[in-house]
Chain A
Amino acid sequence: MNIVETNIPDVDMYNISKSKVELANRIIQGIYPLFDEIYSEKVNDLDGLRQILSNKRLKIKDKKEEIETLYEVYKRKGKIKKLLNRISKLSKSGLMYDGSLKSETLMLLKVIESLNNEKLDFHLLETMKTIKKRFFQ
């Protein structure tokens, strides 16, 4: 244990309140620069959070694009299913025994997965016309 002489003023034994204020002021003077450090850390935290938010926004944008792309695939597969069901209905009704229609349908079935949306819509319309002719006239 050492006894060290410091530059802290001696306590005025006759005016304790004044001594307390003086001591508090000296502590505050010593501590204020440290407050600046705390404030700087908060500024750094803020910058870090801004960067995190920016990254998350980009991530959400990417995810939105992924979902939109996948939803287009889903809609396309739905159209293909609808077309296959119509072809199945026509086949079960016996309409496919006609030679040319049968070979055209077989060709369509082989390439159905690679048809673009316009072609799918066209065939959906055509099969619907045939079904209406067959079942509703």
Chain B
Amino acid sequence: MKVIQENNSKLEQKNNSDFISNIINRIFLICKNDKNFKLKNQTEEIEFKISTLQKKIDSQDKLILQADDLYKNVKRRVDILNSENSELRTNLIESLGG
């Protein structure tokens, strides 16, 4: 079969490359749902694993944020106690003539 080939500039070649990549990804998305697709099972399995891991990572991120908040909260309380203790101790030493 004869085909017509356009004279492509470099920009067009790059666009073509992106275009082809997009097309292949779309074909992959369609093919992966075909029960005869050779990578169907592996793809489903790996996508399930990726999704599970992503959920775990999201959950760990939430936990890290909560831990940061908790740390800041306890640190603030320690600072308040330090300040109160220091004042009370100084007053007591003064009142006892130390």
Q: Which residues of A contact B (CB under 8 A)?
A: 1-6, 8-11, 31-32, 34-36, 38-39, 42-43, 45-46, 49-50, 52-53, 56-57, 59-60, 63-64, 66-67, 70-71, 73-74, 77-78, 80-81, 84-85, 87-88, 91, 96, 102, 105-106, 109-110, 112-113
Q: Are B96 and A109 in contact (CB under 8 A)?
A: yes
Q: Are A84 and B74 in contact (CB under 8 A)?
A: no
Q: How large is the interface on B (under 10, 10 to 19, 20 to 34, 35 or more residues)?
A: 35 or more
Assess A105 versus B1: contact at CB under 8 Å? Given A38-B25, A60-B63, A81-B88. no
- 25 inter-chain pairs at a CB distance below 8 angstroms, sorted by A residue, are A1-B4, A4-B3, A35-B24, A35-B39, A39-B43, A43-B46, A49-B50, A49-B54, A53-B53, A59-B64, A60-B64, A63-B64, A63-B71, A67-B70, A70-B74, A70-B75, A73-B78, A74-B78, A78-B81, A81-B81, A81-B84, A81-B85, A96-B96, A102-B97, A109-B89
Q: Name B20's closest neighbour in chain A (CB-CB).
A: A34
Q: Are B42 and A39 in contact (CB under 8 A)?
A: yes
Q: Which residues of B contact A (CB under 8 A)?
A: 1-7, 24-25, 27-28, 31, 38-39, 42-43, 46-47, 49-50, 53-54, 56-57, 60-61, 63-64, 67-68, 70-71, 74-75, 77-78, 81-82, 84-85, 88-89, 91-93, 95-98
Interface of B is mostly: helix
